[in-house]
Amino acid sequence: MIVLKFGGTSVATPESIASTLAIVKATETPALVVVSALGGITDLLVKATQQAAAQDEAWRESLEAIESRHLDTVRGLLPPQGQPAVVGKVKKDLNTLETLLEGSFLIGETTPKIQDKILSYGELLSSFIIASYYSGQGLQAGFRDSRKLIRTDNTYGNARVAEDNTYALVREALDGSPPIVVLPGFIGATPEGHTTTLGRGGSDYTAALYAAATGASELQIWTDVSGMYTANPRVVPQARPIAVISYEEAMELSHFGAKVLYPPTIRPVLQAGIPLSIRNTFDPKAPGTRIEASANGAGRTVRGISYVPEIGLLSLEGPGMVGIPGVSRRFFEVLSAERINVVLITQASSEHSLCAGIHEKDLARAASALDEAFAFERSKGEVKPVLVENGLSIVALVGDQMKHHQGLSGKMFSALGRNNVNIRAIAQGASERNISAVIASSDVKKALNTLHEEFFEERIKPLNLFIMGVGNVGSRLLAQIRNQQHYLSAQHRLQLRVVGISNSRKMVFAEDGLDLDQWERLLENGIPADPDAFYQTVRTLNLRNALFVDNTASESIAGGYARYLQGSIAVVTCNKIACSAAYGEYARLKGLARTYGVPFLFETNVGAGLPVIDTLKNLVLSGDRIHRIQAVLSGSLNYILNTYTGERPFVEIVKEAREEGYTEPDPRIDLSGVDVMRKILILARESGHGLELDDIGNRGFLPQGALEAPALEGFYEALQAGEPHFQALYNNATRGGKLLRFVAEFNAGKAWVGLEEVPEGHDFFSLKGSDNIVLFYTDRYREQPLVVKGAGAGAEVTASGIFADIIRAGKV
């Protein structure tokens, strides 16, 4: 004997019912086929009942829709000559249903008993139609009414089954039945013959009861998914079916929201030792999931990740609870009396507090009852009013083998913590088959994907990038990301997704990642840019491993780093403003990065793509001490000073450097020395010195009129007028065989910048183009400094430096 159960989606249309026929034909007989109501019919029956009880005439429209669905199904399945008898029986049942609804309408109410009778017609009609269809297709199929076989108590809406009595009735009634018997799921009857329903997942439970009663060789649950998954595939796209799982693991997963199977289904087959398979009606060749007594052969620790939505927490606490026996008993007796199911329990070892997770819909009633029960203790100040928290969900790791592996809890909570998922309560059973955590419902998607990545995926880590600024540097960064995506995935297990882009006018988002071949068109068609709205969208999307990239020189954008870091969103920036702001702000950002466990990286603040800051950090981390730093830190100034020979005007060289992307958009920042001041300040701070920008000396070389120019055009005019000044500087240096370099130095806790004449043989003399150079004099490098040298300006190398920081952040 094999028992097959087809759910509502499997019998939703004539076409899907035809798919079940093919499955039944391929099954060895004898077989029992348990079916649900046609997809959507139960909801229509509930709606019609509510409308009738509210004396809303619209119940007739709902009934008409129910009738149309069933008659259309008959016409779609049976040939004309086979329809009359079936249609006659269907209409007879629908007339009875109409009478029941009419009665509810007339008295303006319904009862659980009447509602069960009304709802039963969904399964009664579908099973009769399907049995008639099978018979008409040449199968030796018959119909049996489950109300004559499944014996229950009178708890209408969620009746309890008298299993011994039921098993005896099933064995007696099915003796001598045709090879294939079709039965309605979800329904039963009291000993007096009153119709009852078995509650959520009742059709699965019905099939399990039939399997246990007949000693079936297998129970097959046919649905619209290919088995139980490692996580909900609608929330975690990377989830995959579980091939084999134990009864206990399946029960834990189903308790924690794996809706493909309901908990009561497992117990009858577990007790009888009958394997259970979950298969896909629409992909019958897929192996699905097999549930059996044996532990998972692969020895996998975590078998699945699931969640329960719409949970609330009740917390009772107070000094009067410490050492007082019976408080927990009273707490749970109150909830039991209110027929409130407790999903999760946690109690402090100090006995000062007791916390229970229940379904959100029961919160108000539970809190009121508990406050009333502990009113005396509250009046004496021994117990506080019940604390209620809503908007929560439970996420759970499930697996038989978890008890044999240490550190799973730490791994789970560490992964959630790295992604700013706050945990409100924790529970772990003594069996160690599940570890549960209560979190905000808004974090469920991120939490499930984070845990699935941690425990199931081949360590391909997704990085979700939000990029502000797509000018010279930003556009090249996007090109580099596009070109390297496949390589990073294949070789470094990193998946880069650019989820958001913004310039000064528009911004655009795509949760699954923007097409980087089309980003300019997508951005042009985006919504108006707004940094605050950009941040709010990042927070609303709430993606794991999120990273904010700032390619701007904007003070206001830099001022927003703190809120990203506080949201556990990594920050990568080439914008020097934040790290060269007041020391307190710099220290605060570094502290936030440590507190929230996310990278704050700004390698390109000094030296563009050169590993200057990274080298300095490694020196300090390894215990070396920095005594002195000498550097040429402005690729733009170096380019200008290397290019200027007095033959072309100085202002022309400056404009050329700006067009090539060597300078900031406003070249006054470079030529005034402010940019170099910021860079040496950052290096001094990274060396452990709390300097401010005002502490940096600046021996500038621009004419006074240039510095006082209110606008860029005025600045260019001042440079043009100051051409004799620049020629004099150049001539004085070259007469002595020297070259002009704008140098930065940090020594003995002090720092300064300024134009210097560098003689031949000096490390700075041979610098070409926009090269930068940094000399580190330390305890280990006293006489011969550690030298970092290379291209220090330009959009391409700056973009590559930002890219390197992104990769570095991804590997944290």
Which CATH number does the domain housing residue 485 bear? 3.40.50.720
- Strands of 289-292's sheet, edge to edge? 141-143, 180-184, 31-35, 2-6, 218-223, 276-280, 289-292, 244-246
CATH assignment of the domain containing 730: 3.30.360.10
For Cα atoms 463, 524, 237, give the angle at the middle one, nearest 5 degrees: 30
Identify whether residues 475 and 591 lie together within a single domain: yes
Q: Is the pLDDT of residue 257 over 80?
A: no
Which pLDDT band holds residue 614 (cuts at 50, 70, 90)?
Answer: very high
- What is the H or E stretch that residue 631 is in? strand 626-632
CATH for 395: 3.30.2130.10
Query: Do 588 and 479 share a structural domain?
Result: yes
CA distance 731 to 714: 26
Do 619 and 570 share a structural domain? no
297 has pLDDT over 70: no
Q: Where are the beta strands (DSSP E) in 518-612?
A: 527-528, 546-550, 570-573, 600-601
Could you give the CA distance from residue 568 to residue 547 in angstroms, rounded to a whole number? 9
pLDDT over 70 (residue 693): yes
**Same structural domain for residues 544 and 629?**
no
Question: According to the 3-state scheme, what is the secondary structure of 447-471?
Answer: HHHHHHHHHCCCCCEEEEEEEECCC
Catalytic residue list contains 679: yes
* Span of 183-187, 252-256, 593-597, 756-760 with lowest mean pLDDT: 252-256
* pLDDT (average), residues 741-758: 95
Instruction: Quote the crossing angle between the two packed helices 41-53 and 59-77, to the nearest 10°.
Output: 160
Question: Do the Cβ atoms of 680 and 633 come closer than 8 Å?
Answer: yes
Q: What is the pLDDT of residues 125-171, one digit of tens each?
A: 999 999 999 999 999 999 999 999 999 999 999 999 999 999 999 99
Q: How confident is the model at residue 432 (pLDDT cuts 50, 70, 90)?
A: low
Is residue 278 assigned to a domain? no
Q: Are residues 393 and 425 in the same domain?
A: yes
Structure tokens at 223: 């649905």
* 287 domain-assigned: no
Total number of domains in the chain: 4
User: Among 604, 635, 653, which residue terminates a domain?
Assistant: 604
The one catalytic residue among 5, 446, 679, 789: 679
Residue-wise pLDDT tens digits, 30-82: 999 999 999 999 999 999 999 999 999 999 999 999 999 999 999 999 999 99
Give the mean model confidence (pLDDT) for residues 398-423.
Answer: 82
pTM reported for the whole predicted model? 0.67
Token pair belonging to 44: 């229509």
Rounded to an integer, what distance in angstroms lies between the CA atom of residue 568 and that of residue 546? 8
528 and 590 belong to one structural domain = yes
Mean of pLDDT values over 196-200: 92
Nearest to 806 by CA among 456, 459, 420, 484: 484
**Segments forming the whole domain that contains residue 733:** 612-793
Same domain, 181 and 195: yes
398 pLDDT band, cuts 50/70/90, is confident
Q: Is 545 exposed, middle or buried (0-12, 13-18, 19+ CB in 10 A)?
A: buried
Domain edge (last residue) among 224, 259, 294: 224
Task: Evaluate whether residue 298 is within a structural domain.
Answer: no
- Is the per-residue pLDDT at 350 higher than 60? no
With a cut of 80, say whether residue 295 has pLDDT above it: no
Distance CA 388, CA 155 (A): 30
Which range in 102-116, 289-303, 664-678 is most confidently predicted, on average pLDDT? 102-116
Q: For position 170, which CATH number holds?
A: 3.40.1160.10
Whether 64 and 142 share a structural domain: yes
Domain-located, residue 539: yes
Q: What percent of the chain has pLDDT over 70?
A: 97
Given 455, 485, 516, the domain boundary residue is 455
User: Distance between CA 221 and CA 805 in Å, rounded?
Assistant: 50
Between strands 750-758 and 771-778, the pairing is unpaired
SS3 (DSSP) at 757: strand
* pLDDT for residue 754: 95
Tell me what the mean pLDDT of segment 712-723 comes to.
92
Q: Is there a single domain that holds both residue 219 and residue 347?
A: no
Confidence at residue 401, expressed as pLDDT on a 0 to 100 scale: 67
Query: What is the rounded average pLDDT for all residues in the chain?
Result: 91
pLDDT at 33: 98
Domain assignment present for residue 567? The answer is: yes
Dihedral angle sign, alpha carbons of residues 437, 439, 444, 447: negative
Same domain, residue pair 75 and 120: yes
Using CA atoms, how far apart are residues 756 and 744, in angstroms rounded to an integer?
10
CA distance linking residue 786 with residue 554, whole number of Å: 33
Residue 476 pLDDT > 70, yes or no? yes
Q: What is the pLDDT of residue 354?
A: 85
508 lies in the same domain as 384: no
Residues 179 and 71 in one domain: yes
